[in-house]
Amino acid sequence: MISRYSLPEMESVFADETRFSRWVEIELLATEAHAVTGVVPATDAATCRSKAPVIDASFVDAVAEREKVTDHDVAAFVDVLQSRIGGAEAGWIHYGLTSTDVVDTALCWALRDAADLLIDASSKLLRVLVNMAKAHRDTVMIGRTHGVHAEPTTFGAKVALWALQVERDRERLVNARRTIAVCKLSGAVGTYSNIDPRVESAVASSLGLEPVPATQVISRDRHAEYMWACASVGATCEMIAMELRHLQRTEVREVEEGFKSGQKGSSAMPHKRNPISAETISGLSRVLRGNLQAALQDVALWHERDISHSSVERIVLPDSSMLAHYMLHRLRRLLEGLQVSSERMRANLMSSHGLVFSQPVLLALVQSGLSRDDAYRIVQEAATISWTGSRDFRGVLEENDRVRQLGPAILDDAFDLSRSLGRIGVVFDALDRIEV
């Protein structure tokens, strides 16, 4: 992943030094577990631990150089690790293991740590959304369907629904973490033919992973579930970003991304203040969805293993983790600096001459004894006259004898904004149940 769309804490999870450090630790833990079972002399296991090298750039370079000979990354790693430890004791490194025992266990370890960062970022975003929803609980605005004015709502209710979706994404991440936090050290084709199952259990316990039955590779449905959680995060971020982009359009102007001193919105037009963060988030979500498709195709492998998934995962798993993490942080910063115009929201609500109260009038006419179709036609005709003539909707309605028979009190209630929003607390009751 390019550094523009990644943050250091997530980058470090997938750095070469981190990956090889994980591989070394798995090898050492396995050797020590072999010692407990009596296969490896305890002194030899201790020597391997004490002489284990520091994993730095020189170690990474040495493995890369050795791979030019072996044409196999794990074999190159084992060769370099054994040479750095030195002595006969180093011969116990990788005893009874196959490459994917180390690679898959280390990868699941990395994805578990990545999931922790994603869960934390989701929680931080969630807190911002919950606070914003509560702050704007009574900030009235027009609700839109198909891009057209529908009925009144509040900005707080809109944001509350975002928060509830982010909470569901967080739960998906928690579940994906549980699914991916596994390990496998059962040897070639997964039959434990050359390694005691107790070794796998010991390594798993030390790493906080769960040992699971496997072929030579851990089943890739686990990785696909993790990728689905990342893609879902991206979809939610895009949903919020797209709404903010619409609300920032010149004709709407209900919200605006923060614009810092010295910032330029356009190289050509000095007046421009563009929703660049929201647009970036929308674009990156497309990458996450595409990566999910690749992960789903990795589930089907030949027999007990092939490596058709390997090249794909070297790209999509780190990149998706970094992108989802970046998007969560970028959206949180966007929302923290968001400028909300309650005045513009109210003005837009009232700009359609009261048409947004058409349903309460319809229902009042039905309650008065009219058929629904007859009532609908009366209100629809009045709405057309109001909209095409820029006339007050209630005034047009009152020109109809049947509407006048309702009386002023019933029409007052139908056009009462507080009545329209009187039960919006249901949304906030759900919000209050979120643990932030």
What residues are labeled active site?
Answer: 146, 266
Between CA 157 and CA 160 the distance in angstroms is 5
Residues 6+ apart with CB under 8 A from 281: 237, 238, 240, 241, 327, 330, 331, 334
- CA torsion 308→312→318→321, rounded to 10°? -100
Do the bridges between strand 210-211 and strand 182-183 make them parallel or antiparallel, or are there none, so unpaired?
parallel
- Rg of the chain in Å (alpha carbons): 30
| Residues 330 and 280: beta-carbon distance below 8 Å | yes
Largest CA distance in the chain: 103
Q: Distance of alpha carbon 109 from its chain centroid, rounded?
A: 19
Between CA 292 and CA 245 the distance in angstroms is 25
CA dist list (Å): 179 to 7, 209, 221, 276, 289:
25, 10, 9, 35, 20
Burial class of residue 75 (count of CB atoms within 10 Å of its CB; 0-12, 13-18, 19+): middle
Between CA 320 and CA 323 the distance in angstroms is 5
